[in-house]
């Protein structure tokens, strides 16, 4: 579980840190204070090994059209998909995202798999260089992302060019770009320049000889291609973003449903969804024009696509599918969106139960005071659920100042809500 997070030069954050995170984290704050950016920082860190991650984050923001199976290759647009991730579009200042994870509450078998994976790369686990059950399970890991305006490959410098660079990765839609762009108008007006992105991962929990583990991947925009130099290991955990815009991808939904079905968990999923739709009898996958879609059988109409059962049901099943396929950090933007206020307390009670059962970690954002009240009400009377909960308000003490977090445990948040204090 992520216990602490530090962010530098990423989107809305210049210098930011938050500690004492819980298994369930509800994030609030005014507009443009960094709620979604905090989720995206976690996403970028965990999915650091994938070339498409920054592009996918941009897609979730609506900054480009999603990849289409009818357009297999698309260009890179640095000013659209790389520059916006850097604070103030300043590509000269590297991004740093650091997390401290506590593996002590993670099942031993999962920790042992992590240790074996690190041993395979020649690493020693723990501050004392041990790699066993007694090795430290709490340490800092850092992802650094830096941009160079001119890329080099095999010692040959690349000059600025104005041409599209098709990629084979189906999730990326980017083009070469220019640097130091203060306004959107100047982005369009200036000529594009080729550059490279360097991602460096460092773990203070793994030693290779006398030094900590360090991995490096360089993405070079080279003529008509993208050249990768080095690679980053895939994180032991997965991340599951549930954006506020649009719908979860049908194929991804079907894959998660299939994974739950293999573990005989579909009946449990049906029980969870009856909180929102009491008439639901069962769930099944039905192919529609070659694409498998989740259908629910309810009394009366029969089997209906989940998408036709209302935004609340579709939203809840998207979150549950992520939580029920651990180990996962689930990131939900506008967590109460599409769900009637009367069902919100039951939703929070349900989510806490699933988080306890699966060992996943949940981060959700909201602007809704009803959603905050519902979280307090839904976890009322259950000490175990209350211990999982953290309320995090992001705020700027003064206009133009750095963003600061205020972290409350369940009891403090409940006291504030009962006193009718404005804590959004």
Residue 308's CATH number: 3.40.50.300
For residue 60, pLDDT beyond 60 = yes
Distance CA 329, CA 106 (A): 13
**pLDDT confidence bin for 117, thresholds 50/70/90:** low
Q: Which positions ≥6 away from 183 have C-beta within 8 Å? A: none
294 and 380 fall within a common domain: yes
Is 8 inside a domain boundary? no
Q: First CA to last CA across the chain, in angstroms?
A: 25
Q: What digits encode the pLDDT tens for the residues 25-55?
A: 999 999 999 999 999 999 999 999 998 898 8
99 and 221 fall within a common domain: yes
- Total count of domains within the chain: 2
Is 19 inside a domain boundary? no
146 and 129 fall within a common domain: yes
Is 25 inside a domain boundary? no
**Residue range 282-286: mean pLDDT, rounded:** 94
* 136-145, 186-195, 366-375, range with greatest mean pLDDT: 366-375
Task: Give me the sign of the Cα torsion angle 344, 347, 353, 355.
Answer: negative
206 and 314 fall within a common domain: no
Tokens for 162, please give them: 């104005």
327 and 375 fall within a common domain: yes
**Does the N-terminal peptide bond of residue 327 adopt cis geometry, omega within 30 degrees of 0?**
yes
Is 36 inside a domain boundary? no
- Which pLDDT score is estimated for 194? 65
Is 11 inside a domain boundary? no
Q: Single out the residue in 194, 209, 234 at which a domain terminates.
A: 234
Task: Give me the sign of the Cα torsion angle 80, 84, 86, 87.
Answer: positive
Q: What one-character DSSP code corresponds to residue 149? A: S
Q: Which of 116, 129, 111, 176 is nearest to 149 (CA)?
A: 176
Distance CA 91, CA 79 (A): 10
Backbone angles phi, psi at 188, to 5 degrees: -75, -35
* 212-216, 240-244, 364-368, range with greatest mean pLDDT: 364-368
Tokens for 45, please give them: 């860190």
- Which pLDDT score is estimated for 114? 57
Q: Single out the residue in 171, 202, 234 at which a domain terminates.
A: 234
Residue-number span of the structural domain to which 142 is assigned: 48-234
Specify the length of the chain in residues: 424
For residue 178, pLDDT beyond 50 = no
Asked if 93 and 15 count as a contact pair (C-beta separation under 8 A), the reply is: no
219 and 270 fall within a common domain: no
Q: What digits encode the pLDDT tens for the residues 125-177?
A: 554 434 444 455 788 999 999 998 764 433 333 333 333 333 334 333 333 34
**pLDDT confidence bin for 119, thresholds 50/70/90:** low
Could you give the angle at which helices 311-323 and 250-262 cross, rounded to 10 degrees?
50
Q: How many CB atoms lie within 10 A of CB 184?
A: 10
Backbone angles phi, psi at 291, to 5 degrees: -115, 120
Is 18 inside a domain boundary? no
Q: Which of 291, 297, 293 is nearest to 274 (CA)?
A: 297
348 and 293 fall within a common domain: yes
Q: Which positions ≥6 away from 89 have C-beta within 8 Å? A: 79, 83, 181, 182
Distances (CA, A) of 60 to 104, 171, 305: 33, 12, 23
**Residue range 277-283: mean pLDDT, rounded:** 92
Distance CA 78, CA 195 (A): 9
Is 23 inside a domain boundary? no
Is 285 inside a domain boundary? yes
For residue 69, pLDDT beyond 90 = no
**Residue range 213-242: mean pLDDT, rounded:** 84
- Which pLDDT score is estimated for 300? 78
Buried b (16+ CB within 10 A) or exposed e, 35-59: bbbbbbbbbbbbbbebbbbbbbbbb
Q: Single out the residue in 234, 264, 279 at which a domain terminates.
A: 234
79 and 212 fall within a common domain: yes
Do the strands 302-305 and 328-332 form a parallel or antiparallel pair, or are they unpaired? unpaired
203 and 254 fall within a common domain: no
272 and 218 fall within a common domain: no
185 and 310 fall within a common domain: no
Tokens for 248, please give them: 């979860």
- Which pLDDT score is estimated for 323? 94
**Whole-number CA gyration radius for the chain:** 22
303 and 409 fall within a common domain: yes
- Which pLDDT score is estimated for 220? 81
């Amino acid at each position: 579980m992520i216990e602490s997070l530090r962010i530098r030069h990423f989107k809305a954050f210049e210098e930011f840190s938050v500690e004492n995170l819980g298994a369930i984290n509800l994030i609030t704050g005014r507009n443009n204070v960094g709620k979604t950016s905090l989720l995206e920082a976690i996403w970028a860190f965990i999915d650091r090994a994938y070339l498409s991650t920054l592009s996918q984050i941009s897609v979730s923001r609506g900054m480009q059209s999603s990849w289409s199976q009818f357009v297999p290759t698309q260009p890179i647009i640095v000013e659209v998909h790389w520059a916006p991730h850097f604070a103030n579009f300043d590509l000269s200042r590297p991004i740093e995202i650091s997390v401290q994870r506590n593996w002590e509450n993670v099942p031993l078998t999962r920790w042992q798999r992590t240790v074996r994976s690190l041993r395979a790369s020649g690493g020693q686990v723990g501050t004392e260089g041990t790699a066993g059950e007694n090795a430290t399970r709490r340490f800092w890991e850092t992802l650094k992302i830096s941009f160079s305006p001119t890329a080099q490959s095999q010692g040959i410098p690349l000059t600025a060019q104005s041409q599209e660079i098709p990629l084979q990765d189906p999730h990326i839609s980017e083009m070469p770009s220019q640097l130091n762009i203060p306004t959107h108008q100047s982005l369009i007006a200036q000529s594009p320049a080729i550059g490279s992105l360097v991602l460096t991962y460092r773990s203070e929990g793994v030693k290779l000889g006398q030094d900590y583990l360090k991995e490096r991947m360089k993405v070079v925009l080279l003529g008509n291609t993208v050249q990768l130099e080095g690679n980053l290991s895939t994180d032991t955990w997965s991340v599951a973003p549930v954006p506020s815009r649009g719908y979860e991808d049908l194929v991804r939904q079907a894959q998660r449903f299939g994974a739950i079905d293999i573990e005989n968990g579909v009946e449990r999923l049906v029980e969870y969804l009856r909180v929102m739709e009491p008439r639901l009898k069962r769930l099944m996958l039905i192919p529609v024009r070659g694409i498998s879609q989740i259908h629910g059988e309810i009394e009366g109409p029969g089997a209906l696509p989940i998408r036709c059962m209302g935004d609340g049901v579709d939203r809840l099943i998207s979150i549950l599918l992520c939580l029920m396929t651990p180990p996962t950090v689930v990131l939900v933007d506008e967590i109460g969106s599409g769900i009637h206020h009367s069902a919100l307390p039951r939703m929070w009670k349900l989510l806490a139960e699933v988080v306890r059962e699966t060992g996943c970690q949940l981060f959700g954002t909201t602007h809704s005071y009803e959603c905050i009240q519902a979280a307090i009400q839904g976890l009322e009377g259950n000490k175990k659920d209350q211990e999982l909960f953290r309320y995090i308000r992001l705020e700027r003490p003064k206009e133009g100042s750095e963003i600061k977090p205020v972290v409350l445990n369940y009891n403090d948040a409940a006291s504030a809500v009962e006193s009718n204090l404005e804590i959004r």
